[in-house]
Chains A and B, each alone.
Chain A
Amino acid sequence: MTEQTASTQETEVIAKLDAFAELPDAPPKRKFRLTWIGYSSVAVVVFWLLICIIGPSIAPFHEMDMDGDDSFLSYGDAEYSKDGGFLTNEYGTFYLGTDYLGRDTLSRVIYGARNTIGISLAATLIAYLMGITLGILAAVKGGWIDMGISRVNDAILALPTIMLGLIVIAALGSSIPVLIATAAVIYATSVFRIARALGQDIIVQDYVEAAATRGESTWWIIRAEVLPNAAMPLATDFGLRLVFVVLFISSLSFLGLGVQPPASDWGSMVRENLQGLTYGSWAAIWPALAIASFTIAINLIVDDISAKSGGSLAKKMV
């Protein structure tokens, strides 16, 4: 087959699709029109995800280098920079000052993005896998499977998340796999509840009944009917859940029970540098701002999307 015919075939297919789109009963194309707040929030989130990926290669120092002349230096300290500009010594420039051990705050914020966002993303993804699998299973199968999973789920949901985290860490000690697993199990409970509710909504629809009558297998129904219809609400909820997990992980780190030093993590950086606040150092503020910008941005995006879909999403997700 020559290239010519391949491309003609392609255009033909496209033309057919276009014709289909013009039919009066064609499903309307989903359009995402965010407000400017939504777009700038997307930019913030993309920025932090990029930092996660390329962070170590653009950070001026390594997260564990103690290259600063003193601890808790900040912008404009008269003794260390005569012209009131950024601090500089023979190793480089400390744009955001140094922390309690004389490490570069900017580099630690950049490295910390990996730990904080990476752990949270991993935990949320696992929570989603578990929650959706069990939730859809419970909705489709019903009966005692549904009863059993739901009761256990309710019991875990009835506890404050931070308490569950503390209990598990008291028993197991803290390490990154333990953190991810704990957060994943705790937040899988709320994913389960949403997935089950959505599944139950969908499973009683006429088109599912039609598919069942047609003799389609359970797996086919789940894959072709239930999942695509549940995808949109679940995707929006993913953002919210990610915010909760980031807050959970960084709160634990802040308590000294999450990511262990000397690795950098936004929550533990705030804790380590809290003492410096009294001397006017901003070393504790930068990582706190980093968390805030990430979580607020995600929340604003979700807010924007759910405002567009008539607020019905927001109600389901509380």
Chain B
Amino acid sequence: MGIGLATLWVVSVIVFVATSILPGDVAQIILGQAATPDTLAALRAELGLDQPGYIRYFSWLGNMMTGDLGISKAGGATISSLIGGRIGNTMMMAGLVAVISIPISVALGLWAAMHPGTMLDRIVTFGTLSLISVPEFFIATVAVLILAVNLHWLPSTAYMTGDETFVQLMKALAMPLITLVIVVSAQMIRMTRAGILNVMSSPYIEMAILKGVPRGRIILRHAFFNAIGPIINVIALNLAYLVSGVVIVETIFAYPGLAKLMIDGVQTRDLPLVQACAMIFCGTYVVLILIADVGSILANPRLRSPK
């Protein structure tokens, strides 16, 4: 836990330093062409920019701890209200992706590991390698081309008004979901397969093979349980990768989530908004990676005590 908190603190420093201390004056950006030395100085004082960096950092951190995320520069709404309206959508999407992709990828990974070297295994390996080496937006584009343009099954955007029926909601969500499931599963399938095959090369499996245990039974009864630790690790890591997938997918489908809010913030250079969103995303990422570490320690008792 202590390590996690320390990492979060370092993350906050990086986010703050990157946005505030890099050259590029917020007051200058806000005023743009209308900047005169007097108005610049006045606005800097108003924003607290005339104070040294470390004071600004601690007041920012303190405000964030108490839930005061500041005020967005565009429109003047509080950032908490902007984020509050969006975060549910993003959480729902991420949750659904996890629920769908985890069983699929563990099953496919197991299945490929059971038949190594066969045509099916090679198709899975080559297919997933191709999928992880193309950008997320490529998969999204192809999905739109096939499912929305050629087959007319699904709408090509996920715009939501908030009063849809359940079926409409599912239809709107389907496209981003399919894209993200493909992106995340490809990586998970590969790593599950690699994890199982890794266990398969250990001496006790060789023993079982020599004993004449059928291959399917070896994998399900011997290898799988010993590979659970690495697999949990893989799942948590991939949900962390989901963070960057979400950014692309929300933009391409105009899905009203947190990442779309952040991209809009970057485009209008709304720094307080970007800082807040970045902290949420990075925080989630760090927590998920921490869960991955804890998971692998729980699954493998040998890791509990240092060597």
Contacts and interface: CB of A to CB of B under 8 A. Distances in A.
A285 B145 contact: yes
Q: Looking at chain A, what size class is its interface with the partner chain?
A: 35 or more
A171 interface: yes
Interface stretch (B108-116, B209-217, B259-267): B259-267
Given A160-B244, A168-B22, A171-B24, A155 B271 contact: no
B252 interface: yes
Which applies to chain B's interface (DSSP): helix, strand, loop or mixed? helix
A255 B141 contact: no
B79 interface: no
B240 interface: yes
6 contacts: A158-B11, A255-B263, A285-B142, A288-B141, A292-B135, A296-B133
B16 to A, nearest CB: 10
Interface of B: 7, 10-11, 14-15, 18-20, 22-24, 129-130, 132-138, 141-142, 144-145, 148-149, 156, 240-241, 243-244, 247-248, 251-252, 262-263, 265-267, 269-271, 274-275, 278, 281-282, 285-286, 289
A163 B243 contact: yes
Contact of B281 (A156, A160, A278): A160
Interface stretch (A141-149, A212-220, A230-238, A246-254): A246-254
Contacts of B285: 158-160, 163
A189 B289 CA distance: 17
Contact of B137 (A254, A300, A303): A254
Contacts of B24: 171-173
A113 interface: no
Contacts of A274: 141, 144, 252
B266 A169 contact: yes
A166 B274 contact: yes
Contacts of B278: 163, 166-167
A254 B136 CA distance: 10
B248 A255 contact: yes
Given A267-B135, A278-B149, A291-B134, A170 B274 contact: yes
A162 interface: yes
A48 to B, nearest CB: 14
Nearest to B150: A280
A251 B263 CA distance: 12
A250 to B, nearest CB: 6
Contacts of B262: 166
Contacts of A132: none
A269 B137 CA distance: 12
Given A155-B7, A171-B18, A171-B22, A277 B156 contact: yes
Contacts of A164: 14, 18
B22 A172 contact: yes
